Amino acid sequence: MSGSGKIVVIGSSNTDMVVKSRKLPAPGETVIGETFLMNPGGKGANQAVAAARLGGKVIMAARIGNDVFGKQAVSQFENENMDTAFITVDKELPSGVALINVDANGENCISVAPGSNSKLSPGHLEQLLENISGQDIALLQLEIPVETAVFAIRKCFDKKSRVILNPAPASPLPEDLFPCLFLITPNETEAGLLTGIQVTDIQSAAEAARQLRTKGVANVIITLGSKGAFLLTDSYSGVIAAPQVTAVDTTAAGDCFNGALAVALAEEMPLEKAVAFAGKAAALCVTRLGAQSSMPYRSEMPA
Ligand code: ATP
């Protein structure tokens, strides 16, 4: 959308390799699988694709390996019209991969080798963050080194750009980082790990959100799966319901939600509207199979 700020996504890029088989292998066992799929993934890349398809001007900052997976990731980002100037190549480590086994019931087991994602360092982001402005939105997750995320968040805060942190996977954060966050978006499990409050219903979500605001986060969204999302701001406290849909595959629903949220904020939608927008996008995402492949385009969004 013309006139809106840029969306700077700083995060992971992985290749997911999925084998579907009747049963998951036990330790030491070999199971002959049925199908093999190779899909682009990583929370950073998924969220960036969601934001780009929904109309955001996305700059993706990531670290890939000097291999075919890294090259494929960059060309996929280019196909989605993202700026890839801040994707750097690690000469030593391979690109990140996730090995995923899925059984006939949809149960899975996953091993992730972060590879080059683990080498994304503050130095790789300095030039990018020097030029970030107050109009821009920075979107981060925690599949990169926490010290790099912390560096980037502080720098964005200094530059007055609004930071959305999707704290996934949950990881301990320095207490003085919370006041640098415009928005934090944990799911129920992550909210529990960050606050020590087990989030099981709306009341406990409200309690966890209040605690995160007490730590200094300006606004809090706790995503509640098919129930929607709990939003806490200066002037709003409550659940914004998700549209009711028949879910086929909830993989990357949270990533879609966060990418859409960044687009809405870059377009200066008020937070309540932004959460509703993100909920609509994520509801479309769960009606289709896959991670990046299930991210909706702006033209598919209901008015
Ligand atoms: P995932 O790990 O599957 O990516 P998550 O655990 O990070 O997701 P959730 O809270 O499960 O995050 O989902 C994020 C958002 O996606 C929800 O707030 C909601 O808006 C939407 N969503 C998830 N599941 C459904 C569903 N079954 N129907 C409609 N919307 C859904």
The domains of the chain are located at: 7-294
Cα dihedral 237/220/42/47 (nearest 10): 70
Q: So what's the pLDDT on residue 290? A: 85
pLDDT in tens, 174-197: 999 999 999 999 999 999 999 999
One-letter amino acid of 199: V
Q: What is the CATH number of domain 7-294?
A: 3.40.1190.20
Higher pLDDT, 107 or 85: 85
Under 8 Å between Cβ of 41 and 15: yes
130 C-alpha to center of ligand 1: Å? 34
Q: Is 282 in the pocket of ligand 1 (CB under 6 A)?
A: yes
pLDDT above 80 for 4: no
pLDDT in tens, 216-246: 999 999 999 999 999 999 999 999 999 999 9
Under 8 Å between Cβ of 201 and 214: no
Q: So what's the pLDDT on residue 201? A: 96
118 C-alpha to center of ligand 1: Å? 27
pLDDT in tens, 239-276: 999 999 999 888 899 999 999 999 999 999 999 999 99
Question: What's the ipTM?
Answer: 0.98
257 C-alpha to center of ligand 1: Å? 8
Q: Is 283 in the pocket of ligand 1 (CB under 6 A)?
A: yes
One-letter amino acid of 24: L
Percent over 70 (pLDDT), the chain: 99
pLDDT above 90 for 1: no
Under 8 Å between Cβ of 93 and 145: no
pLDDT in tens, 26-85: 999 999 999 999 999 999 999 999 999 999 999 999 999 999 999 999 999 999 999 999
Record the pTM.
Answer: 0.96
pLDDT-based confidence at residue 3 (cuts at 50, 70, 90): low
Q: Which of 14, 250, 255, 280 to mutate to test the pocket of ligand 1 (most atoms within 8 A of CB)?
A: 250
Q: So what's the pLDDT on residue 2? A: 44
One-letter amino acid of 58: V
pLDDT above 90 for 7: yes
Number of helices and strands in the chain (H, E):
8, 13
Q: Respond yes or no: is residue 67 known to be catalytic.
A: no
pLDDT in tens, 122-168: 999 999 999 999 999 999 999 999 999 999 999 999 999 999 999 99
Q: Please give the average per-residue pLDDT across 96-112, as a whole number.
A: 90
Atom 12 of ligand 1 has which residue's CA nearest to it?
A: 254
| Mean of per-residue pLDDT scores for the chain | 96
293 C-alpha to center of ligand 1: Å? 16
Cα 217 from Cα 302, distance rounded (Å): 31
Q: Please give the average per-residue pLDDT across 276-281, as a whole number.
A: 98
Triad 192, 196, 198: Cα angle to 5°: 50
Q: Which of 222, 223, 277 to mutate to test the pocket of ligand 1 (most atoms within 8 A of CB)?
A: 223
